[in-house]
Amino acid sequence: MGLASAGKTTIFNALARAKVEVATFATPGGEPHRAVVHVPDARLDRLAALFKPKKVTPAEVRYVDVAGSLQSDGNPGQSAQLTGQLRNADALLLVVRAFASDVVPHPLGQVDPLRDLNILNEDLLLADLTVVEKRLERLEKDLRFASKAGPSEAIRERDVLARIKEGLEAGRPIRDLGLGDADLKLLRSYAFLTAKPLLVLFNTGDSDEGVADLIARAKASLPYAQTEVASLAGRLEMELAELEPAEAEEFKAALGIEELGLNRVIQISYRLLQLISFLTVGPDECRAWTIREGSTAVDAAGAIHTDLARGFIRAEVVDWEPLLAAGGWNEAKRQGIVRSEGKTYVVRDGDVINVLFSV
Ligand SMILES: Nc1nc2c(ncn2[C@@H]2O[C@H](COP(=O)(O)OP(=O)(O)O)[C@@H](O)[C@H]2O)c(=O)[nH]1
Ligand SMILES: [Mg+2]
């Protein structure tokens, strides 16, 4: 999300490596564009080089290009539709214009990234506050007419919402309030926007002058949990993404770009969502699977197939790097570096796993 002409579609295109038409004006009301993006993973690439499988399947992140910001522009109907789209997301990526241009007008006149960031942030806080206030009013009324003590669920919800209201009014997003799992579960159906992890992405011009300072100031203004700030030269990255790989390499070398900003953004997205990858290897497929941080071996088995979770016996586990060094699965087993783990084993990022199960 972001203000009009901040470069949302440009960055989306760069991420998607797709060519959705970039319009100078946002088109509120239109269907949002969606893209499934592969998470760059050097571990998977290197394992695939060793196992030479028929198929290599990386982990994925889905991006949605929505139009416009919340209350700041557009009419109420559009902003309700937009809010609905945002509520469906697991995390929000806020695109903030930091590039100067004589040909692209800024909806507010001058380019001022920190002002825009502040506006967008306030929009998110306000959207949640409106929901909280409405619900609190309703709950207070219900509780007044209920029996003396009232149903404990309602009391509990009222207390959490009151705490959230206080936080939001002080400018604190819900993700920063340290709510426990039980409270978060209670709130899930609201899909609060400030409960979602937030990635602020400054869309810079081709030079990175002043960008480090901008990022530092944005971080200082948003010192909250699950909040990241980064920058990307949107147009440049989109142009690079549209080139043939060999040509892109040439350009990158000429411009002295080592790693695409884009890849960093995808990795940050993944990390913000508190996702990790475990890997499976073999002659048919090498694959990165997505699970939540803290998932167990059974959860991992279930990510592959429910049958594997149901019939789980144990998991053979080895770190990707020693496996690579050993030069193959059987070699790794012979060296005794493949461990046998039970149901409750907490999977780590980069574990290579073979699930043993009975049908
Ligand atoms: N100079 C410059 N122009 C850009 C950059 N990123 C986007 N633009 C231009 O800004 C305009 C609006 O971009 P768009 O991605 O459609 O913005 P959106 O409304 O947020 O989706 C387009 O004309 C883009 O070509 C950039 O990094 N530098
Ligand atoms: Mg757009």
Q: Which of 88, 263, 97, 262 minimizes the C-alpha distance to 192?
A: 88
pLDDT of residue 18: 55
- Distance (Å, whole) CA 56 – CA 277: 14
Q: 120-193 falls under which CATH superfamily?
A: Obg-related GTPase Ych/YyaF, coiled-coil domain (1.10.150.300)
- Distance (Å, whole) CA 119 – CA 134: 23
Write down the residue that tokens 């506006």 correspond to: 119
Q: Please list all protein residues whose beta carbon sits less than 5 angstroms from ligand 2, which is an ion.
A: 8-9, 26
Which of helix, strand or coil describes residue 171? coil
Please give the DSSP secondary-structure letter assigned to residue 2.
B
Q: What DSSP string describes 82-97?
A: HHHHHHT-SSEEEEEE
pLDDT of residue 25: 41
pLDDT single digits (tens) 214-263: 999 999 999 999 999 999 999 999 888 888 888 888 988 888 887 778 88
Q: Is the CB of 23 under 6 A from ligand 1?
A: yes
CATH code given to domain 294-357: 3.10.20.30
Which atom of ligand 1 is nearest to 234's Cα? 27
- Bridge partners (DSSP) listed for residue 346: 296
Q: Is the CB of 99 under 6 A from ligand 1?
A: yes
pLDDT of residue 24: 41
Q: Is the CB of 207 under 6 A from ligand 1?
A: no
Residues 29-54 have a mean pLDDT of: 88
Q: Is the CB of 28 under 6 A from ligand 1?
A: no
Q: Tell me the fold of 8-40+60-113+195-272.
A: Rossmann fold (3.40.50)
Q: What sign has the CA pseudo-torsion 340, 343, 347, 353? A: positive
pLDDT of residue 82: 83
pLDDT of residue 261: 83
Q: Could you tell me which residues come within 8 angstroms of residue 72 by beta carbon, excluding any fewer than 6 positions away? A: 3, 119, 120, 123
Q: Which of 8, 237, 210 minimizes the C-alpha distance to 114?
A: 210
Residue 77 in this model has a pLDDT that exceeds 70: no
Residue 359 in this model has a pLDDT that exceeds 50: yes
| 61 to 97, 180, 213, 245: CA distances (angstroms) | 23, 26, 29, 21
Residue nearest ligand 1's atom 14 by CA: 7
List the domain boundaries for the chain: 8-40+60-113+195-272, 120-193, 294-357
User: Residue 234 Cα, ligand 2 centroid: separation in angstroms?
Assistant: 13
Round the average pLDDT of the chain to a whole number and report it: 90
Q: Is the CB of 104 under 6 A from ligand 1?
A: yes
Q: What DSSP string describes 264-332?
A: HHHHHHHHHTTEEEEEE--SSEEEEEEEETT-BHHHHHHHH-HHHHHTEEEEEEEEHHHHHHHTSHHHH
Q: Is the CB of 8 under 6 A from ligand 1?
A: yes
